Amino acid sequence: MHFYIEVILPIALPQTFTYKVSEAEFEYLQLGCRVAVPFGKNKFYTGLVAVKHNDPPTLYEAKEIHQIIDEFPVVTEIQLMHWQWIATYYMCCIGDVYRTALPTALMLESETVISANQNNPEISELSDEEYLLVEALQQQSSLKINEVVSILNKKKVFPVIQQLLSKGVVSLQEEMVEEYKPKLIRYIRLFPEFNSSERLEELLSLLKNAQKQKDLVLGYFQLQASQRKPISVKELTEYSGSSAAVVKILIDKGILEEYYIQHDRISFEKADENEINLSIPQNTALEQIQESFLSKDVCLLHGVTASGKTEVYIKLIEGYLEQGKQILYLLPEIALTTQLVSRLTKHFGNKVAVFHSKYSNNERVEVWNQVLNQSDKAQIVIGARSALFLPFRNLGLIVVDEEHEPTFKQVDPAPRYHARDAAIILANLHQATGDTRVEGERSVVKPGAGGAKVLLGSATPSIESYFNAQSGKYGLVELHERFGNAVLPEIHLVDLKDSYFRKKMTGHFSQFLIEVMTEALSNGEQIILFQNRRGYSPVIECMTCGHIPQCPQCDVSLTYHKFKGQLRCHYCGHSIAKPTNCHACSSVDLTSKGFGTEQIELELASLFPTKNIKRMDQDTTRGKYAFEKLIDSFKNREIDILVGTQMLAKGLDFDNVSTVGILNADSMLYFPDFRAFERSYQMMTQVSGRAGRSDKKGRVVIQTYNPDHNTIQQVTNNNYDGMYKEQLYERYIYKYPPYYKLVKLTLKHKDFEKLKEGSMWLYQVLRQQFDIPVLGPEEPPVSKIRNEYIRTILIKIPQEKHLGNTKKAIQKILNSFDAISQYRTIRVTVNVDFY
Ligand code: ADP
Ligand code: ZN
Ligand code: ZN
């Protein structure tokens, strides 16, 4: 009998790999444990045990594993099932999911390391490059391959290393490095034989000639009496006004002993009992959600902006917390965590953990382990979409806040998953028993069977989710009013065409907007201005010939950044200094066209010279805490006017903002995308929702060339229903979600002709095989990025078609495409449910 394991490797290959293990290893290994395995010639990967079996592979000789890394699984069986679902549904490799899911610090890297042998080399026999390395190895005991690359300042270093090896000067060593080091805190205690009050006297007399040591021991006893918890060196020296040197003497004398405890890097202040009393509508909503969970697994909370959805979540979470369940709270943007964390910790204290990609590897591993061990320090986890991959074992509830946000969909790289939809699957996999069996089909998990529940929340639900709620698949609970005395803001439209015609514009500001702003500022209120830069960025245009500088590598105009005096490509980062004359006709008559947040900021400075104006966009929030700082100083009323992009539309809560201005609504409306009207509605409603969140009534001014546009009217009248019905109808007519599932194929290649041919081949085969709509191959609006041409093909799968089988058929065609030698170099990416 032979023993094998199937191992998931962090690489983009569709299968798992079979490795051989001994019988003892086979018994020892559990699914979800990591193993180091050899792969290819000289590589080692950290793989994950997915299956154990006794069948040798037919196509290759199974290699033996290198070593077992874990005694206990770091990944749960539920996760393995979840990953498999993601790989199948989103048409990607399980290795892609694994690589995304596991913090990199848990994926040991094999790195080739060279170290010097003991013998002294003959210097005269060494080439210059060889000598350089030997010299470097006298400074440090070993070198990694990429260090060698930088020392020699060239890529192909293997020949040099080969020479040194053959001369016996160095040797190779394949070294596994565990990157994660838990942070340890140094504690001290008295040796047990001294640790009693009877022995204290004796001890003090022993130290009677050493006053400092005596003080320290006394301090220790006092601390120990007042707090029944470990005493750190830092604490004791501070308390007794002593020093680490004195501690050392006592350790050397065998009176104190030191020990280490792993400390959690991320700890929060304790909650000061902060009771929340729900209003009557909030309470009704809570009860309705709980009731809906009796028969359904997903519930949509549709509550207008500032209706107090967060408080409803908190009350709901309380219930799951009492049952000892884990709770996952998903946000569309890590930048939003700060505000929420402080709101949640106020209530739940240090049961709240945060998981986000800006955290260090160590911090992420910490949360991972807490969740895995069901520590109450991470009983509630707040995070952006990647928090979905944490090893929950006893999940009770997932809250997906602002569920309509497109950022929940990962665009690149694979897995191109939607966190909201993947969350619903994950919740289903968590059965009430917490002990799901993997055997057989995973479709044994039935809705309503008592798995974890999912609450989706939004003031502007996505068409898809609202559709699911309307059709009864999800529960639906609505909050129509704002919390407390707050009311929804009044929305005023300004017709830009008319305003320009009557010369009532100063720069991009209508007279009306300026008046409203002036009034608000004189009342000491704050203002938010929204300018969506997407698709409408400032460019430099030649007044003589009309030339607009383009990116040489991409199919876009360069964006003008006034502050830096630069033209920059937003796709590849290419930049040039602002030209003084036209590259096409040499004319010096250049003008800037379009406008972004930066120009608005400048205009504001001259309109309101005494006010503090700040800008919030990707350029100003790049640093680690830049966003948080901006939010804080706005919250503390140090900023009068905040100008920003989409980021402002996401669930922020400021109590002193009375006025919101949307400078140009039209750029959003005419974005070439089937979701443009839905997105415009959401964005405008969300930004407007920042106004008047407390007692003062808010005012919103929307500037537009199309005041009669349906979407603008729907925003003005807070008519979500109207927007929903209109969009749903359009989706039906034009074959879009929720009626059709979309699979988008993107093909890229440097050779224009080859790409054209290849995409045509693929399109035609798809057309022949399917009696469903296949569109394309199309040149997208930006049809070249970094010198690669792009074509897209859109496949629309109607509800009556079997989704899984259709995807399998698509995959088959993609495989045959890949098998055609002249097309093999064309890169194809697959985006299921693309946004
Ligand atoms: P939403 O998430 O629906 O936009 P929030 O949860 O941010 O709304 O609530 C809006 C404001 O009202 C917040 O400042 C919040 O603290 C306050 N609020 C809501 N519900 C309550 C409550 N029950 N008690 C006290 N304050 C509340
Ligand atoms: Zn010109
Ligand atoms: Zn570019």
- Res 448: pLDDT: 39
CA dist 81 → 98, 318, 375, 426, 662 (Å): 12, 28, 23, 9, 45
Torsional class of 172: left (φ above 0), alpha (ψ -120 to 50), beta (otherwise): beta
Least trusted range by pLDDT, from 263-267, 474-478, 774-778: 263-267
- Res 772: pLDDT: 92
Contacts of 441 (CB under 8 A, 6+ apart): none
Residue from 814, 755, 332, 331 nearest 341 by CA:
331
Paired tokens of 152: 């020699």
**Cα distance between residue 791 and residue 755, in whole Å:** 8
- Please give the average per-residue pLDDT across 518-523, as a whole number: 94
Cα 781 vs. chain centroid, distance in angstroms?
Answer: 26
Q: Which atom of ligand 1 is nearest to the CA of 486?
A: 12
> Which of 311, 401, 402, 477 maximizes ligand 1 atoms within 8 Å of its Cβ, making it the mutation to test the pocket?
311
> Which of 289, 460, 653, 718 maximizes ligand 1 atoms within 8 Å of its Cβ, making it the mutation to test the pocket?
653
CA dist 505 → 669, 691, 700, 712 (Å): 22, 24, 18, 21
**Cα distance between residue 79 and residue 76, in whole Å:** 5
Residue 577, strand partner residues: 566
CB-CB contact of 602 with 562 (8 Å): yes
Q: Which atom of ligand 1 is nearest to the CA of 279?
A: 23
For residue 508, pLDDT beyond 60: yes
More confident position, 369 or 228: 369
CA dist 591 → 100, 556, 772, 787 (Å): 45, 18, 48, 28
- Res 209: pLDDT: 85
- Res 89: pLDDT: 97
> Which of 341, 401, 483, 653 maximizes ligand 1 atoms within 8 Å of its Cβ, making it the mutation to test the pocket?
483
Paired tokens of 710: 């349906």
Q: Is 295 strand, coil or helix? A: helix
Q: pLDDT averaged over the chain?
A: 86
Q: Which atom of ligand 1 is nearest to the CA of 304?
A: 3
Tens digit of pLDDT for each residue in 543-595?
888 888 888 888 878 888 877 788 888 777 888 998 999 988 899 888 887 66
303 lines ligand 1 (CB under 6 A): yes
The ligand minimizing its distance to the Cα of 649 is 1
Tens digit of pLDDT for each residue in 630-674?
887 788 788 899 998 877 777 678 888 999 999 989 878 877 789
For residue 42, pLDDT beyond 80: no
Output the CA 797–ligand 1 centroid distance in Å: 41
Output the CA 557–ligand 3 centroid distance in Å: 9
- Res 442: pLDDT: 37
Contacts of 15 (CB under 8 A, 6+ apart): none
Output the CA 621–ligand 3 centroid distance in Å: 22
For residue 179, pLDDT beyond 80: no
Q: Is 119 strand, coil or helix? A: coil
Output the CA 789–ligand 3 centroid distance in Å: 12
**Cα distance between residue 533 and residue 41, in whole Å:** 49
pLDDT band at residue 182 using 50, 70 and 90 as cut-offs? low
Residues 430-455 as b or e (16 or more Cβ within 10 Å = b): bbeebebeeeeebeebeeeeebbbbb
Host H or E run for residue 219: helix 211-226
Q: Which atom of ligand 1 is nearest to the CA of 651?
A: 4
Least trusted range by pLDDT, from 103-107, 137-141, 414-418: 103-107
Paired tokens of 221: 């006893």
The residue written with tokens 């970094």 in the block is: 786
Output the CA 586–ligand 2 centroid distance in Å: 6
Asked whether the bond before 413 is cis by omega within 30 degrees of 0, the reply is yes
Q: Which atom of ligand 1 is nearest to the CA of 307?
A: 3
Residue from 591, 594, 590, 600 nearest 506 by CA:
600
The ligand minimizing its distance to the Cα of 550 is 3
The ligand minimizing its distance to the Cα of 573 is 3
Q: Which atom of ligand 1 is nearest to the CA of 305?
A: 4
For residue 777, pLDDT beyond 60: yes
**Cα distance between residue 29 and residue 49, in whole Å:** 8
More confident position, 335 or 231: 231
Paired tokens of 300: 């949509």
Residue from 353, 279, 367, 341 nearest 315 by CA:
279
DSSP 679-741: HHHHHHHHHHTTSS-SSSPPEEEEEES-TT-HHHHHHHTT-HHHHHHHHHHHHHHTT-TTTEE
**Cα distance between residue 235 and residue 231, in whole Å:** 6
More confident position, 495 or 442: 495
State the angle between helix axes of 244-252 and 233-240 in degrees (0 to 180), rounded to the nearest 10. 110
For residue 460, pLDDT beyond 90: yes
Output the CA 330–ligand 1 centroid distance in Å: 18
DSSP 261-294: EE--S---PPP--------HHHHHHHHHHHHHHH
**Cα distance between residue 298 and residue 420, in whole Å:** 11
Closest Cα to atom 2 of ligand 1: 309
More confident position, 589 or 104: 589
- Res 259: pLDDT: 79
Paired tokens of 674: 């089937």
- Please give the average per-residue pLDDT across 314-338, as a whole number: 90
Tens digit of pLDDT for each residue in 55-92?
999 888 899 987 787 889 999 999 999 999 999 999 99
Q: Which atom of ligand 1 is nearest to the CA of 282?
A: 23
Output the CA 788–ligand 3 centroid distance in Å: 10
Paired tokens of 732: 């039906």
Residue from 101, 99, 170 nearest 129 by CA:
170
Tens digit of pLDDT for each residue in 679-712?
999 999 999 998 888 777 899 999 999 999 999 9
692 lines ligand 1 (CB under 6 A): no
Residue 7, strand partner residues: 17, 49
- Res 458: pLDDT: 97
Output the CA 630–ligand 2 centroid distance in Å: 40
**Cα distance between residue 335 and residue 357, in whole Å:** 11
* DSSP symbol at 121: P
pLDDT band at residue 222 using 50, 70 and 90 as cut-offs? confident
- Res 479: pLDDT: 96
The ligand minimizing its distance to the Cα of 575 is 3
693 lines ligand 1 (CB under 6 A): yes
The ligand minimizing its distance to the Cα of 547 is 2
- Res 592: pLDDT: 80
Output the CA 305–ligand 1 centroid distance in Å: 9
DSSP strand pairing (590-593 vs 613-616): unpaired
CB-CB contact of 100 with 389 (8 Å): yes
State the angle between helix axes of 77-89 and 803-819 in degrees (0 to 180), rounded to the nearest 10. 70
DSSP strand pairing (395-401 vs 453-458): parallel
**Cα distance between residue 728 and residue 617, in whole Å:** 32
Q: How many other C-beta atoms lie within 10 A of the C-beta of residue 426?
A: 26
For residue 105, pLDDT beyond 80: no
- Res 438: pLDDT: 40
CB-CB contact of 224 with 216 (8 Å): no
Q: How many other C-beta atoms lie within 10 A of the C-beta of residue 277?
A: 8
Contacts of 319 (CB under 8 A, 6+ apart): 290
More confident position, 299 or 276: 299
Paired tokens of 560: 């003008």
**Cα distance between residue 503 and residue 517, in whole Å:** 19
Per DSSP, which regions of 145-246 are E strands?
Answer: 170-177, 184-190, 231-232
CB-CB contact of 78 with 430 (8 Å): yes
The ligand minimizing its distance to the Cα of 310 is 1
778 lines ligand 1 (CB under 6 A): no
276 lines ligand 1 (CB under 6 A): yes
CB-hemisphere CA count at 13 Å for 437? Answer: 4
The residue written with tokens 């068409």 in the block is: 463
Closest Cα to atom 20 of ligand 1: 308
CB-CB contact of 383 with 364 (8 Å): no
305 lines ligand 1 (CB under 6 A): yes
- Res 98: pLDDT: 95
